[in-house]
Structure 1
Amino acid sequence: MFEIRRVLTHVEDIFHEFGPPPAHPLRRGTLAAVMKNPFAGRYEPEIQHAMELLKPIGVTLAGQLLAAMAVPHAAIEGYGKGAIIGAAGELEHGALWHVPGGYAMRELLEKNGVPTNAIVPSAKKVGAPSTALDVPMTHVNASYVRSHFDAIEVRVPGAPAADEIVYILAMSTGQRVHARVGGLAKEAIAGKDGLR
Structure 2
Amino acid sequence: MKIRKVVRHLEETRSENGRPVDPVHRVAFVGIVIANPYGSGYVEDLVTLADAVGEQIGELVGPPCVDLLGDEVEAFGKVALVGIDGEVEHGSALIHNLRFGNVFRKAAGGTELLPAAEKVGLPGAPIDVPLKHKTDSKTRSHHQTITIQVPGAPLPDEILVGCVAANAGRPLARLAVFGAETSGQ
Offset, 1:159:
0.8
- 1:152 corresponds to which letter in structure 2? I
- 1:61 corresponds to which letter in structure 2? V
**Pairwise CA RMSD:** 1.5
Task: Give, in whole Å, the separation in 2 of the partners of 1:58 and 1:139.
Answer: 19
- 2:87 matches 1:90: yes
TM-score by length of 2: 0.89
> Which residues of structure 1 form unaligned runs of 5+?
186-196
* Conserved 8 A contact 2:122-2:153: yes
- 2:26 matches 1:21: no
1:189 corresponding residue in structure 2: none
Offset, 1:19:
4.7
- 2:65 matches 1:65: yes
- 2:126 matches 1:132: yes
Task: Give, in whole Å, the separation in 1 of the partners of 2:100 and 2:127.
Answer: 16
2:183 corresponding residue in structure 1: none
Task: Give, in whole Å, the separation in 2 of the partners of 1:169 and 1:29.
Answer: 8
- How many residue pairs are counted as aligned between the two chains? 176
The C-alpha deviation readout for 1:20-62, integer Å capped at 9, x for no partner, is 3122101101112100002122111111012221212212321
Q: Which runs of 4+ in 1 moved over 6 A?
A: none
1:170 corresponding residue in structure 2: 164
> Which residues of structure 2 form unaligned runs of 5+?
180-185
TM-score by length of 1: 0.85
**Could you say what secondary structure the match of 2:21 adopts?**
coil
Task: Give, in whole Å, the separation in 1 of the partners of 2:41 and 2:33.
Answer: 19
* Conserved 8 A contact 2:77-2:132: yes
* Conserved 8 A contact 1:14-1:25: yes
2:78 corresponding residue in structure 1: 81
Offset, 1:4:
1.1
**Could you say what secondary structure the match of 2:16 adopts?**
coil
Task: Give, in whole Å, the separation in 2 of the partners of 1:12 and 1:90.
Answer: 30
Offset, 1:142:
0.7
Seq. identity, %: 31
Distance 1:135 1:76, change over 3 A: same
1:188 corresponding residue in structure 2: none
* Conserved 8 A contact 1:32-1:156: no
- 1:90 corresponds to which letter in structure 2? E
